[in-house]
Amino acid sequence: MKYISTRGGVAPKSFEDVILTGLAPDGGLFVPDQLPQFSHSEISSWQNLSYEELALKVISPFVDDEIPQSDLKQLIEKSYSTFRHSEIAPLVKTGENEWILELFHGPTLAFKDFALQFLGNLLDYTLEKRQQKVVIMGATSGDTGSAAIEGCRRCNNIDIFILHPYQRVSDVQRRQMTTVQADNIHNIALHGNFDDCQNMVKASFADQSFLPDGRQLVAVNSINWARIMAQIVYYFWASLRLGGPDQAISFSVPTGNFGDIFAGYLASKMGLPIKQLVIATNQNDILHRCISENDHTTRPLEQSLAPSMDIMISSNFERLLFDLYDKDGKAIVDLMTDAKAGHMRLCETVLTKARQLFSSYRCDDKEMVELIRDTFRDHDYLLDPHTAIGLAAARECRADLQTPMVALATAHPAKFPDAVKQAGYPSDPELPSHMENLFEREERFTILDNDQLAVQSFISDNITA
Ligand SMILES: *Cc1c(COP(=O)(O)O)cnc(C)c1O
């Protein structure tokens, strides 16, 4: 399998080359030049596979012969052995033909563990084989950082530097990152906001001359193809539990950077019968405006109670557009120039095509808090704020009651006590037992000014691997 850039300006690359980098050199994102296709009968035959066995089926064609099957199988098994539920991604019924897919049983309690446990193992395997060492640099508003640190803490060939905005992530989120004690883990609290962190990372990827010879930066946010790939699996998994592929299924996905829902789109293109994909946004609703009114105008970012979806420009949307525009890299360059300037309009035929599968809904903090309250009262089930937004959108956009609707639960409620308490929950929601003593563990992080030279010298001085 070869990978190409969404902006059409790069020679095709191998799977391993693609996961060991960030953006393509032309500024685009890597995508497979052709998607694997699974027939109805092939998908049917996967009914009784374990999550890990299913993952091997779905992921193998993307990796091709670059990693031997037996090694890939081991990497997958290792990645999901850290999950604390025997089904890895269990379904919970919350209404008539309505289900929640719990994706928060990994080590850091968010769906990002699905991809980052795997990516950490995959990188370490590849680097070991190549006798190469790399530096991971990433910015986080909370969930990505801890999932990446958990995924890479045991990797011998990786130093990982995660920037979070000083005093602007929740205590649980910060402690999940800063209490991991390993010499290759480096937490930087930057004086600034998330955008400052993100810009620092972008500038560093663009000019990597501050790194020692032979080192390169690797991205762990969802521009890394391996993250999207790993997330395709649970769409197949949920469908197979609910009568698929004979029965089409719908999904509602709380959306920020468009990675998670893009994986659902790929599942559909690969042959999984999906009726609807619902894009659920909070008050930062640019994707909802784009799908519903063809209005992709940037507005100032608002802080919400679902902070992992407080994003204005969703990087993976470019991957969808590339596909909808029939892989026309030049069209994407133009669209992205418009988007960057603040206003992008899609061509109507493309929008019509998108709407055959996608619908969208915006759920603000108030509506989200009410749904957490009602769901706890009526079903004794505590939703996290992101999941609540997905569930609200599922109910609003649902085309019919015959098609099972699956709302993706992207985080455990204990990660977001503020929203949960506003919904009337009497205390901080309880952390699972493996994190009970989180608040007693020793923290380690370095506070730095929002200064490129300071951050980059810190990195080059602290590389250990
Ligand atoms: C990252 C995240 C999201 C958004 O996922 P994208 O792939 O960026 O769309 C939603 N909910 C939670 C809890 C997250 O951590």
Q: What is the pLDDT of residues 303-331, one digit of tens each?
A: 899 989 988 889 999 999 999 999 999 99
- Helices 286-293 and 348-355: crossing angle in degrees, nearest 10, is 110
Nearest to 454 by CA among 192, 217, 244: 192
Over residues 374-382, mean pLDDT: 95
- What is the Cα–Cα distance from 246 to 449, expressed in whole angstroms? 56
- What is the Cα–Cα distance from 335 to 27, expressed in whole angstroms? 13
- What is the Cα–Cα distance from 339 to 334, expressed in whole angstroms? 9
Q: Is the pTM of this model over 0.85?
A: yes
pLDDT above 80: residue 122: yes
> Which protein residues touch ligand 1 with a CB less than 6 Å away?
110, 112, 143, 222, 254-260, 308-309, 386, 410-411
Over residues 387-392, mean pLDDT: 98
Give the mutation target among 150, 227, 287, 308 for probing the ligand 1 site: most ligand atoms within 8 A of CB: 308
What number of residues does the chain have?
A: 465
pLDDT above 70: residue 465: no
Domains of the chain: 86-107+225-422 (3.40.50.1100)
The confidence band for 143, taking pLDDT boundaries of 50, 70 and 90, is confident
- Going by alpha carbons, the residue nearest to atom 1 of ligand 1 is 308
Residue 410 CB contacts under 8 Å (≥ 6 apart), including other chains? 103, 104, 110, 111, 254, 260, 308, 384, 386, 387, 390
Residues with active-site annotation: 112
Distance 11 CA to ligand 1 centre (A): 31
Share of the chain above pLDDT 90, in %: 90
